[in-house]
């Protein structure tokens, strides 16, 4: 029995040593630490893997921590590059922190395939989400109730949607909070919104344009169809940039090379393949 | 070394192994408690315990009131217990007392299988079967309601309630049954007046564990209950304490994150109350 305990302890010891080595190894090679928006993370991981293919000595570490955390990480220098899935105001960045736009992502306002409504204005969408319009006949549809589907309060997609649709309000002490009605259904992620809207005849939701398929219908907003071309031209307004922030003075060689590479044809081709809108 | 000494040594090493295991388990509970309290206290201080627990508006970073989530958790759990416990208890009685052994064996295997299904599958089942059904039956625009959560939870607690109840029903000595039947009581009378009361503590354990499962369930609930943070109604969407944490934790930072840990504290206190209730009820039985 004692032997078993000893060997278990031994195993733990060896495991601990190995873990320690692993950590040290990562630090000694050229690593690029990236953190921020979970929406950008998916694209960044693919870009990172491709870049590592041609630069075997570089390790790209990507962590999805949310846009706000990404901006903070870039300002503090805890990550070399921060990611954000909403536009970052200059005031949010500290001295010496620059930003580039990696891609654009449209947010599609989606309804069930059986819905006869095909176009809405931003004011109408905003009123629906505030709970002021509750029946489809007020926006040109059939006489049926509207089931509003939204995302969780800290989601980047929800943040961008609230900014574009003027769905923000302020509390008495000046904190910005959401104006989306509390009775709206909250779905955990793009996929959950999609399933709910695809199944419910009366539902309206919003998802990343790349996630739209024929299980549901994307509405035109202010008469403009939600297509990559209309987003690139700026006609379709319900879109958001994927931005990267970095301290320009304090970047390693590998990180500089990576940032430059992301605006090349090769990288932007991946952006397109993943369903986002390239910036070149 | 003599065989006897060897025996003593093995005995001693096992003693320390058991002690160590007990220590690790207790340590784990203590660490979790300390951790959530440290992380959650800043929110409780900044919002105020009263405002936090009785506030009816949840809109971070402005308002942190979890009364809607408390009401959601209580209503969905109470509903699940109201449906699941009678059904589970009757099933257990059937399996232990009435069914022929062959039938009981088959059914028991099926019920045990129910316990092994991951909760995301229950959630998916709820989403594609129960939610549309509620829409049709009650003629409401969206079936993602507290009721959908109640039905899914009621099914999920069945294996716990049935297995524990059946085991304790079977543990009732045969002399009780024989005595009752010998006095001329019917089988049903014997079951409800003699066997179930005798198996009470085991059945209660099953019920309390069922409640704990219902209150702690997250994934399935997020999928079927609509998650709107408003005071729970049966045919309206509502959010539970666990769903609140799981939905928002991934992006939350600062006070918002602390408030989610504080939600965890409230949940922790709920579970502790449940366990105390179990201890109290079972002790009462013994002292009788």
Helix (H) or strand (E) holding B223: helix B219-224
- Cβ neighbours for B43, distance < 8 A, ≥ 6 positions apart: B52, B64, B255, B258, B259, B261, B262
CB contact under 8 A, B17 and A175: no
**CA distance linking residue A185 with residue A245, whole number of Å:** 33
- Cβ neighbours for A117, distance < 8 A, ≥ 6 positions apart: A111, A136, A139, A140, A141, A219
Q: What is the pLDDT of residue B81?
A: 93
B237: contact with A, CB 8 A cutoff: yes
Closest Cβ opposite residue A155 in set B59, B131, B251: B251
Let me know: does B46 contact B256? Beta carbons within 8 Å: no
Based on C-alpha coordinates, what's the Rg of chain B?
23
Structure tokens at A232: 């690139």
Q: Read off the pLDDT band of A21 (50, 70, 90).
A: very low
Closest Cβ opposite residue B253 in set A66, A176, A203: A66
CA A188, distance to chain mean position in Å, is: 14
Q: Tens digits of per-residue pLDDT, A85-132? A: 888 888 888 888 989 999 988 899 999 999 999 999 999 999 999 999
A196: contact with B, CB 8 A cutoff: yes
Distance from CA of A155 to the nearest CA of B (A): 7
Instruction: Report the alpha-carbon angle B55-B57-B58, nearest 5.
Output: 110
A166: contact with B, CB 8 A cutoff: no
Residue A11 or residue A189, greater confidence: A189
Let me know: does B145 contact B225? Beta carbons within 8 Å: yes
Rounded average pLDDT over A145-155: 86
Q: State yes or no: pLDDT of A28 exceeds 50.
A: no
Let me know: does A69 contact A35? Beta carbons within 8 Å: yes
Sort A147 into a burial class: Cβ within 10 Å, 0-12 / 13-18 / 19+. Answer: buried
Based on C-alpha coordinates, what's the Rg of chain A?
22
**CA distance linking residue B218 with residue B241, whole number of Å:** 9
Closest-CA residue to A190 (of A203, A214, A207, A213):
A207
Q: State yes or no: pLDDT of A27 exceeds 50.
A: no
Q: What is the pLDDT of residue B122?
A: 93
Q: What is the pLDDT of residue B136?
A: 92
**CA distance linking residue B194 with residue A20, whole number of Å:** 62
Q: Which residues pair with A242 in a beta bridge?
A: A103
Residues of A in contact with B60 (CB under 8 A): 153-154, 177
Q: Read off the pLDDT band of A7 (50, 70, 90).
A: low
Q: Which residues pair with A207 in a beta bridge?
A: A108
CB contact under 8 A, B251 and A192: no
Structure tokens at A121: 């204005």
- Cβ neighbours for B110, distance < 8 A, ≥ 6 positions apart: none
Q: Read off the pLDDT band of A8 (50, 70, 90).
A: low
B230: contact with A, CB 8 A cutoff: yes
- Cβ neighbours for A220, distance < 8 A, ≥ 6 positions apart: A118, A119, A120, A226
| Average pLDDT of chain A to the nearest whole number | 84
Closest Cβ opposite residue A177 in set B59, B135, B228: B59
Structure tokens at B108: 């028991």
Q: Tens digits of per-residue pLDDT, B30-78? A: 999 999 999 999 999 988 898 899 988 888 878 899 999 999 999 999 9
B132: contact with A, CB 8 A cutoff: yes
| HEC profile of chain A | CHHHHHHHHHHHHHHHHHHHHHHHHHHHCEEEEEEECHHHHHHHHHHHHHHHHHCCCEEEEEEECCHHHHHHHHHHCCCCEEEECCCCCHHHCCCCEEEEEEEEEEEEEEECCCCCCCEECHHHHHHHHHCCCCEHHHHCCCCCECEEEEECCCCHHHHHHHHHCCCEEECCCCCEEECCCCCCEEECCHHHHHHHHHHCCCEEEEEEHHHCCCCCEECEECCECCCHHHHHCCCCCCEEEEEEEEEHHHCCHHHHHHHHHCCCHHHHHHHHHCCCEECC
Respond yes or no on whether ipTM tops 0.95.
Answer: no
Distance from CA of A159 to the nearest CA of B (A): 11
Q: In a mutagenesis test of the B interface, which of A42, A146, A182 is the best target, namely the one with the most B β-carbons within 10 Å?
A: A182
SS3 state at B59: strand
**CA distance linking residue A33 with residue A120, whole number of Å:** 42
Which DSSP letter does residue B231 get?
-
Let me know: does B72 contact B225? Beta carbons within 8 Å: yes
Q: How far apart are the first and last CA of chain B?
A: 52
What are the φ/ψ torsions at residue B143 (nearest 5 degrees)?
A: -85, 0
Per-residue pLDDT of chain B (288 residues; tens, 9 = 90+): 677 888 888 889 999 999 999 999 999 999 999 999 999 999 999 888 988 999 888 888 788 999 999 999 999 999 999 999 999 999 999 999 899 999 999 999 999 898 889 999 999 999 889 999 999 999 988 889 999 999 999 999 999 999 999 999 999 999 999 999 999 999 999 999 999 999 988 899 899 889 989 999 999 999 999 999 988 888 999 999 999 998 888 667 778 889 999 999 999 999 889 888 888 887 765 544
The answer, yes or no, to whether the previous bond of B61 is cis (omega within 30 of 0) is: yes
Query: Is the C-alpha dihedral spanning B121, B126, B129, B132 positive or negative?
Result: negative
Which DSSP letter does residue B99 get?
S
What are the φ/ψ torsions at residue A222 (nearest 5 degrees)?
A: 55, 35
CB contact under 8 A, A185 and B142: yes
**CA distance linking residue B12 with residue A24, whole number of Å:** 41
């Amino acid at each position: 029995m004692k032997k078993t305990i000893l060997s278990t302890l031994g195993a733990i010891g060896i495991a601990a040593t190995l873990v320690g080595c692993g950590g040290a190894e990562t630090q000694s090679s050229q690593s690029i630490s990236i953190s921020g928006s979970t929406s950008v993370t998916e694209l960044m991981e693919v870009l990172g893997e491709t870049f590592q293919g041609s630069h075997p000595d570089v390790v790209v570490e990507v962590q999805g921590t949310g846009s706000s955390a990404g901006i903070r990480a870039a300002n503090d220098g805890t990550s070399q590059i921060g990611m954000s899935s909403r536009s970052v105001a200059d005031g949010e960045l500290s001295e010496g922190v620059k930003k580039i736009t990696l891609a654009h992502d449209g947010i599609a306002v989606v309804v069930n395939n059986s819905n006869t409504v095909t176009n809405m204005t931003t004011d109408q969408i905003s009123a629906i989400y505030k709970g002021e319009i509750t029946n489809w006949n007020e926006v040109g549809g059939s006489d049926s109730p509207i089931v509003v589907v939204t995302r969780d309060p800290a989601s980047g997609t929800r943040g961008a949607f609230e900014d574009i649709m003027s769905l923000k309000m302020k509390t008495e002490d000046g904190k910005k909070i959401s104006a989306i009605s509390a009775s709206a259904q909250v779905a955990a992620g793009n996929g959950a919104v999609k399933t709910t809207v695809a199944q419910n005849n009366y539902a309206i939701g919003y998802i990343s344009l790349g996630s739209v398929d024929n299980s549901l219908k994307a509405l035109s907003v202010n008469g403009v169809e939600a297509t990559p071309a209309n987003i690139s031209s700026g006609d379709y307004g319900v879109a958001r940039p994927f931005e990267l922030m970095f301290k320009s003075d304090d970047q390693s060689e590998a990180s500089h090379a990576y940032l430059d590479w992301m605006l090349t044809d090769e990288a932007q081709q991946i952006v397109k393949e993943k369903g986002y809108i390239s910036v070149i | 070394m003599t065989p006897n000494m060897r025996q003593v040594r093995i005995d001693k090493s096992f003693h320390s192994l058991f002690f160590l295991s007990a220590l690790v388990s207790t340590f784990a509970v203590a660490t979790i408690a300390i951790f959530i309290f440290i992380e959650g206290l800043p929110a409780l201080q900044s919002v105020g315990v009263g405002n936090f627990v009785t506030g009816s508006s949840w809109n971070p970073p402005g308002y942190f009131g979890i009364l809607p989530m408390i009401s959601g958790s209580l209503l969905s759990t109470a509903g699940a217990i109201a449906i699941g416990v009678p059904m589970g208890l009757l099933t257990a009685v059937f399996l232990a007392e009435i069914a022929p052994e062959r039938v009981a064996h088959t059914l028991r295997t099926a019920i045990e299988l129910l316990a092994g299904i991951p909760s995301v599958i229950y959630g998916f089942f709820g989403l594609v079967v129960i939610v549309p059904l509620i829409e049709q039956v009650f003629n409401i625009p969206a079936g993602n309601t507290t009721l959908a959560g109640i039905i899914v939870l009621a099914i999920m607690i069945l294996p716990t309630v049935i297995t524990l109840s059946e085991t304790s029903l079977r543990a009732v000595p045969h002399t009780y049954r024989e005595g009752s039947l010998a006095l001329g009581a019917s089988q049903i009378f014997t079951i409800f007046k003699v066997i179930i009361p005798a198996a009470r503590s085991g059945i209660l354990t099953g019920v309390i564990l069922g409640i704990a499962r219902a209150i702690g369930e997250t994934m399935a609930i997020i999928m079927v209950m609509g998650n709107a943070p408003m005071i729970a109604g049966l045919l309206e969407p509502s959010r539970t304490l666990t769903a609140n944490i799981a939905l928002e934790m991934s992006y939350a930072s600062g006070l918002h994150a602390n408030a989610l840990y504080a939600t965890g504290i409230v949940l922790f206190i709920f579970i502790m109350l449940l366990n105390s209730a179990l201890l109290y009820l079972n002790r009462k039985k013994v002292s009788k």
